[in-house]
Amino acid sequence: MQSRNGNHAKGIDVSHWQGVIDWKRVRSAGYSFAFLKATEGPKLVDDRFRVNSQGARSAGLLTGAYHFTRARNEADVNAELEHFVQTVESAGGLSSFKLPLALDVETKEGGTRANITAIVREWVTRFKLRTGRTLMIYTYPDFIDTSLDGTLGNVPLWYAYYNSGVPADKGGWTSWEFIQYTNKGRVPGINGDVDLNEYKGSEADLMAAYNRNDQGKEPDAPEWKEAGRQWLIKHAGISPEWQAEDPLDIGTLGAILAKYAASGNK
């Protein structure tokens, strides 16, 4: 993987443990982005998430949100995912979070390496289908070694790496998007320790990559796709929440056809 660099954009990640934050002081100290804990498991919401979201954005920081998964199997993913997405929507909407939304995977409720990896893959797939956005994975070296296989290297990585020197390639990953390099940072505007992070490029690079008006949105769908969506809503009872630009996998297609056939329209 690549090394850290003094010219990289600086950021933090926070949760309720940091208490009340003076976000203007954080921004004035040179920090340009923040990842905010949103949810954990199928029900918990971080009680500082919404106020942190508003405060960080108002101070001019780019924000991302993360979910701490407790999923034990692939079947648990959908409830957690909906909980995460709906919580983010309630804090300004998906598009207001310019940075990637992230899955924090660092505990072993899933048991085996194969099962934990399958849970993460399910998260990545379902999140893309649900939101149109690419999920980022947060994890650390020992967890990759013990609990993930080498098939996730195409998923953006937020890497918790506290050692000096250049991090080695690991678990299919050859680079990181963001790196968390300490949990003992001190930042003006925050009482006590806070996690410190870097982006893989400069602040200008960060802004060019993520501070776009279209961030989090897919390109407009062609008119024929929208016409097809409206037909399915009217004739097959498909939810209006399904968007024309959403990807369509074979399982979803089968479900649509089965629903249409069951309605008596053959």
Question: Looking at the annotation, which residues are catalytic?
Answer: 13, 106
Residue 101 CA, distance from chain mean position: 2
Residue 87: half-sphere exposure toward Cβ, Cα within 13 Å: 28
Q: Residue 265: phi, psi to the nearest 5? A: -95, 100
Both tokens of 34, joined, read: 């923040």
Distance CA 157, CA 148 (A): 13
- Which two tokens mark 43? 């029900």
Identify the three-state secondary structure at position 64.
strand
Neighbours of 50 (CB within 10 A): 17
Whether 194 contacts 174, CB under 8 Å: no
Pairing of the two strands 31-40 and 178-185: unpaired
Longest dimension (CA), the chain: 66
Contacts of 32 (CB under 8 A, 6+ apart): 9, 10, 11, 61, 62, 203, 206, 207
187 vs 19, 69, 163, CA distance in Å? 13, 27, 20
Q: Residue 239 and residue 99: Cα distance in Å, rounded?
A: 28
Length of the chain: 266
How far is it, in rounded angstroms, from Cα 141 to Cα 205?
Answer: 26
